[in-house]
Copies of this chain bind each other. A is one copy, B any other.
Amino acid sequence: MRAKNYELKPGAQDGITAVKEQDQSTRLSPARRQGKAGAQVAEVSGKALGRMVEAFMKLPGIGRKSAERLAFAVLGMQREEAAGIAQAILDLKNNTRYCTRCNNITEDEVCVICRDEKRDRSRICVVEEPSNILILEKTGSFRGCYHALMGAISPLDGIGPDDLRIDGLMERLKPGGIKEVIIATNPTVKGETTALYLSQLIKPLGIAVSRIAYGLPVGGDIEYADESTVQRALEGRREM
């Protein structure tokens, strides 16, 4: 449909003031900005909504606009559904912990993967974070066990090998029977440093150490790949 061409009558802008000067919010720290965003919402739509916006802004990747959108979404939900989300948050904090063997997320002392007798216990895949285990499991192509280091070596951040769960990994390798350690730390300087450190530590034990492959992402376009990735993809080429 075509809309009518509404013309503002003279004087129709009486109640309208000029665009305000950019306020100083961009100079504030994130925490201050967060408080400010919540305060602004609270001013217009009530304190509870303001607090909800501030709460959502504590989550990673959720900025001011997303937080507002999410807050209004919660507001529009059935009461039970909203209460369900609140309960899920509380349950998550109360019921979960890290597997005493591999540091995976679990609700028991030892995680479901470490307990599974069908898994290949002779291969351990080492990752930085417990969340990485989930990503690898989704591929469905690895049937061994895992070990989360709970971080990566990063001298600049003051994180050395002793700050990671490397002792626990070495304990697991000691009894023997481990054929391979696959290092799946991130393809970053930190992850690479960690991988190198681990390989120097583990190889003397006579255990094969491998590193996940670099290369072009599936579905990616070679035109958009950075030079180092293309270089690694070339180096890692396989016969067809």
Contact = CB atoms under 8 A, between A and B. Distances in A.
Given A44-B134, A106-B46, A209-B6, A69 B74 contact: no
A41 B107 CA distance: 13
B51 A12 contact: no
Contact of A134 (B17, B41, B133): B41
A174 interface: no
A29 interface: no
Contact of A92 (B16, B71, B235): B71
A70 B60 contact: yes
Given A16-B142, A134-B45, A210-B6, A1 B69 contact: no
Contacts of A41: 134
Contacts of A77: 58, 93
A235 B107 CA distance: 63
B17 A140 contact: yes
Nearest to A195: B3
A59 interface: yes
Given A70-B59, A85-B55, A85-B58, A192 B48 contact: no
A225 interface: no
Given A8-B210, A88-B51, A192-B1, A141 B18 contact: yes
Interface of A: 1, 3-6, 8-9, 12, 14-20, 40-41, 43-49, 51-52, 54-56, 58-62, 66, 68-75, 77, 79, 81-96, 104-107, 111-113, 120, 122-123, 129-131, 133-134, 137-144, 179-180, 189, 192-193, 195-196, 199, 208-211, 214, 235
24 contacts: A1-B189, A1-B193, A6-B211, A15-B122, A15-B180, A17-B141, A17-B143, A19-B140, A20-B140, A40-B138, A43-B112, A44-B104, A45-B130, A45-B134, A46-B105, A46-B112, A52-B92, A58-B77, A58-B81, A60-B69, A75-B96, A75-B105, A82-B89, A86-B89
Given A20-B140, A58-B85, 9 more contacts: A12-B210, A19-B139, A43-B112, A44-B105, A44-B134, A48-B96, A56-B85, A74-B89, A85-B86
